[in-house]
C-alpha cells in the first residue's frame, strides 16, 4: 500500500468540476416514436393556433344566440372532419357533432339534450349566450406562444403536444455513448459459480441500469483484469467510439489498483479522491478525443500531448472518464452524485440534479469526522411531513442499504451529527 498523492476534494467542488468539464452534445432530429425520455434541444413555439377552427364541444345544434326560444329549420350537418360550408341564416340551425366546425353565422351550440325535435324543425331554449359549447380558435394555444422550453424531458403530454402542432420530428440532445467496464481479477460473470475468493460482477448490472435511467447508450466491455496492458487496450479501443468511460473497481491505493495510472497515461486526472462516504476513491479524468493507442506511459503522454491530442477531422471534444470505486454502494452513490448530472448535462437537460424535499430525520445520524456522508433512507408520510428512517447498516458493500431507499440524506463532516427530529433536505430517488 502507498499513500494516495491525490488531494481530498470536497464533494460539492468535485461535482462542480465534473460539470465544468462536461460538454453538451450535439442535437439530432428524431421522429416522435423515439422521443420518449429524450431532452428537447430547442424551444418550441406554436406555429398555428390550437384549435385551428371554432370546434363544437358537444353534440347538438349550431345556431344564432339571437334565435333563442324559437323553432328553427334544420338545414344541414357539420360532423368532425366534414364541415357545413354555407352560412347559418336567421331562423335556421345546423346539426353539429363534437369536433365539427362551427359554421359561419352561428355563434353558439345548443346541446342535443336541451332541444325538442319535430320533423325537420328544432325548438331551442330561450336565453342563449354567444360563445356557448364550442372551443374558439386559439383557445388552447395562441399562434406564436412558447409551449416547450429547451431542456425539458419529453414525456406523454409533451410528445402529444408536438404532434398536435404538426411536428413529426423533434430536435433532441444526442444520447451519450458510454463504455462500461468492471475491473478486478476476483470477478466472475453472473450465473457462474464463484470459486473461493471470487465474487460475481454485480456492479456491471447495477451501473447499466443507472446509466440507462440517465439516458445513456451503453456498450458493455465486460470484466477487465488487474493488469495494465490488457486494461489499457480495452479502454483505448472503447474510447475510440464512446463519449464516456465508466469503470468500477481499481481506484483505491492497493497495488492492483490500476485505473488512476491508466487514466493519467491517457489524459488528465482532475479528481482522485473526494471527502465523501461512501466513495472516497472516486476518480474523474478527461481524455482528449482521438488519443492514440500508442500513448502508453505517462512520460510518453506528456511528450506527445497536444500533437496527437485531437483527431484531424470529425471527432472533436473531450471524453470523460469516471473511475468509480468497486464497492457496490460506493459505485452507485458516486454515480448519483457525479455521473448522473454529467450525463444529463450532455443531453441538454435543464434539470441536472435530483429533486430535493425537506424531511424530518427519524433517527440520530452520526457524522463521519472528515467526510460528507450520503446516508440512504426510506421515507414515510406522517401527517403533512416526510419522515426519514435509516436503511440499516450503511456499509459500502451492503447493497441492501440502497435497495428500497427513497432518498439520500447529506450529513456534513464533523463530530456533531444530526439529531433525530431535525429537518434536512433529502435528495429524492423515488417517493413512497
Q: Which residues bind ligand AMP (CB under 6 A)?
A: 182, 184, 187, 199, 201-204, 248-252, 254, 257, 325-328
Distance of alpha carbon 273 from the chain centroid = 27
For ligand AMP, give the closer residue by CB, 6 or 363. Answer: 6
Q: What does 201 interact with, of ligand AMP, Mg ion, none (CB < 5 to 8 A by kind)?
A: ligand AMP
What count of other Cβ atoms lies within 10 Å of the Cβ of residue 112? Answer: 15
Smallest gap from residue 226 Cβ to ligand AMP (A): 8
Distances, alpha carbon 249 to alpha carbons 202, 211, 303, in Å = 12, 17, 29
Q: What does 187 interact with, of ligand AMP, Mg ion, none (CB < 5 to 8 A by kind)?
A: ligand AMP
Q: Is the peptide bond before 51 cis (omega within 30 degrees of 0)?
A: yes
Smallest gap from residue 334 Cβ to Mg ion (A): 15
Of residues 183, 319, 194, the one with CA closest to residue 247: 183
Q: What does 328 interact with, of ligand AMP, Mg ion, none (CB < 5 to 8 A by kind)?
A: ligand AMP
Half-sphere exposure in the Cβ direction for 386 (13 Å, CA): 19
Of residues 366, 373, 372, 374, the one with CA closest to residue 415: 366
Smallest gap from residue 196 Cβ to Mg ion (A): 17
Smallest gap from residue 296 Cβ to Mg ion (A): 21
Distances, alpha carbon 236 to alpha carbons 69, 170, 233, in Å = 83, 34, 5
For Mg ion, give the closer residue by CB, 146 or 195. Answer: 195
Binding piece for Mg ion, criterion CB under 5 A, among 6-14, 27-35, 247-255, 358-366: 247-255
For Mg ion, give the closer residue by CB, 249 or 288. Answer: 249
Smallest gap from residue 194 Cβ to ligand AMP (A): 11
What is the DSSP track for 199-224? EE--HHHHHHHHHHHTT-EEEEEEEE
Number of residues that bind Mg ion (CB under 5 A): 3
For Mg ion, give the closer residue by CB, 184 or 215. Answer: 184
Q: What does 51 interact with, of ligand AMP, Mg ion, none (CB < 5 to 8 A by kind)?
A: none
For Mg ion, give the closer residue by CB, 181 or 367. Answer: 181
Torsion of CA 152, 157, 158, 162, to 10 degrees: 180
For Mg ion, give the closer residue by CB, 39 or 269. Answer: 269
Q: What does 252 interact with, of Mg ion, ligand AMP, none (CB < 5 to 8 A by kind)?
A: ligand AMP
Q: Is the peptide bond before 187 cis (omega within 30 degrees of 0)?
A: no
Of residues 77, 72, 119, the one with CA closest to residue 95: 77
Tell me the C-alpha distance between 269 and 266, whole Å: 9
Report whether 258 contacts 249 (CB < 8 A).
no
Smallest gap from residue 257 Cβ to ligand AMP (A): 6
Binding piece for Mg ion, criterion CB under 5 A, among 4-12, 86-94, 183-191, 208-216: 183-191
For ligand AMP, give the closer residue by CB, 286 or 330. Answer: 330
For ligand AMP, give the closer residue by CB, 158 or 257. Answer: 257
Pairing of strands 60-63, 372-382: unpaired
Smallest gap from residue 411 Cβ to ligand AMP (A): 23
DSSP single-letter state for residue 153: B
Smallest gap from residue 250 Cβ to Mg ion (A): 5
- Sign of the dihedral defined by the CA atoms of residues 378, 352, 333, 373, in that order: negative
Q: What does 278 interact with, of Mg ion, ligand AMP, none (CB < 5 to 8 A by kind)?
A: none
Torsion of CA 66, 70, 73, 79, to 10 degrees: 60
DSSP single-letter state for residue 82: B
Residue whose CB is nearest to ligand AMP in the complex, by number: 326
For Mg ion, give the closer residue by CB, 83 or 249. Answer: 249
Report whether 117 contacts 102 (CB < 8 A).
no
Q: What does 199 interact with, of Mg ion, ligand AMP, none (CB < 5 to 8 A by kind)?
A: ligand AMP
Tell me the C-alpha distance between 13 and 332, whole Å: 19
Report whether 214 contacts 339 (CB < 8 A).
yes
Half-sphere exposure in the Cβ direction for 265 (13 Å, CA): 20
For ligand AMP, give the closer residue by CB, 351 or 395. Answer: 395
Interface residue with Mg ion among 184, 224, 272, 278 (CB under 5 A) is: 184
Q: What does 401 interact with, of Mg ion, ligand AMP, none (CB < 5 to 8 A by kind)?
A: none
Q: What does 372 interact with, of ligand AMP, Mg ion, none (CB < 5 to 8 A by kind)?
A: none
Q: Does 249 bind Mg ion (CB under 5 A)?
A: yes
Binding piece for Mg ion, criterion CB under 5 A, among 42-50, 177-185, 212-220, 358-366: 177-185
- Write out the residues near Mg ion by the rule CB under 5 A: 184, 249-250
Amino acid at each position: 500500500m502507498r499513500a494516495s498523492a491525490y488531494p481530498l476534494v470536497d464533494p460539492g467542488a468535485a461535482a462542480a468540476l465534473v460539470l465544468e468539464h462536461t460538454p453538451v452534445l450535439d442535437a439530432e432530429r428524431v421522429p416522435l416514436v423515439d422521443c420518449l425520455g429524450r431532452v428537447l434541444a430547442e424551444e418550441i413555439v406554436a406555429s398555428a393556433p390550437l384549435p385551428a377552427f371554432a370546434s363544437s364541444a358537444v353534440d347538438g345544434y349550431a345556431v344564432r344566440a339571437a334565435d333563442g326560444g324559437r323553432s328553427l329549420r334544420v338545414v344541414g350537418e357539420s360532423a368532425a372532419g366534414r364541415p357545413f360550408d354555407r352560412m347559418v341564416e336567421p331562423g335556421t340551425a345546423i346539426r353539429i357533432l363534437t369536433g365539427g366546425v362551427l359554421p359561419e353565422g352561428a355563434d353558439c351550440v345548443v346541446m342535443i339534450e336541451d332541444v325538442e325535435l319535430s320533423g325537420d324543425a328544432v325548438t331551442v331554449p330561450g336565453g342563449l349566450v354567444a360563445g356557448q359549447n364550442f372551443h374558439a380558435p386559439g383557445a388552447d394555444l395562441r399562434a406564436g406562444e412558447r409551449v416547450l422550453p429547451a431542456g425539458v424531458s419529453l414525456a406523454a403530454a409533451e410528445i402529444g403536444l408536438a404532434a398536435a402542432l404538426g411536428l413529426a420530428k423533434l430536435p433532441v440532445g444526442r444520447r451519450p455513448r458510454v463504455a462500461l467496464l468492471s475491473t478486478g481479477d476476483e470477478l466472475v460473470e453472473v450465473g457462474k459459480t464463484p470459486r473461493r475468493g471470487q465474487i460475481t460482477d454485480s456492479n456491471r448490472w447495477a451501473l447499466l441500469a443507472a446509466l440507462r435511467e440517465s439516458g445513456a447508450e451503453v456498450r458493455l466491455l465486460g470484466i477487465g483484469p488487474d493488469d495494465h496492458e490488457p486494461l489499457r487496450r480495452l479502454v483505448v479501443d472503447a474510447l475510440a467510439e464512446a463519449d464516456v468511460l465508466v469503470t468500477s473497481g481499481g481506484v483505491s491505493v492497493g497495488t492492483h489498483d490500476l485505473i488512476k495510472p491508466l487514466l493519467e497515461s491517457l489524459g488528465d486526472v482532475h479528481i482522485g479522491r473526494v471527502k465523501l462516504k461512501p466513495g472516497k476513491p472516486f476518480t474523474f479524468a478527461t481524455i482528449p478525443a482521438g488519443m492514440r493507442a500508442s500513448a502508453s506511459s505517462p512520460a510518453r503522454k506528456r511528450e506527445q500531448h497536444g500533437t496527437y491530442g485531437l483527431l484531424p477531422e470529425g471527432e472533436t471534444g473531450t471524453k470523460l472518464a469516471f473511475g468509480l470505486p468497486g464497492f457496490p454502494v460506493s459505485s452507485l452513490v458516486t454515480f448519483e452524485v457525479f455521473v448522473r448530472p454529467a450525463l444529463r448535462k450532455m443531453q441538454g437537460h435543464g434539470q441536472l440534479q435530483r429533486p430535493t424535499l425537506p424531511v424530518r430525520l427519524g433517527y440520530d445520524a452520526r457524522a463521519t469526522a472528515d467526510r460528507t456522508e450520503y446516508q440512504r433512507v426510506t421515507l414515510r408520510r406522517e401527517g403533512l411531513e416526510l419522515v426519514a428512517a435509516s436503511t440499516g447498516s450503511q456499509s459500502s458493500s451492503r447493497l441492501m442499504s440502497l435497495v428500497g431507499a427513497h432518498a439520500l440524506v447529506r450529513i456534513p463532516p464533523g463530530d456533531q451529527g444530526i439529531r433525530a427530529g431535525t429537518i434536512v433536505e433529502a435528495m429524492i430517488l423515488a417517493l413512497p
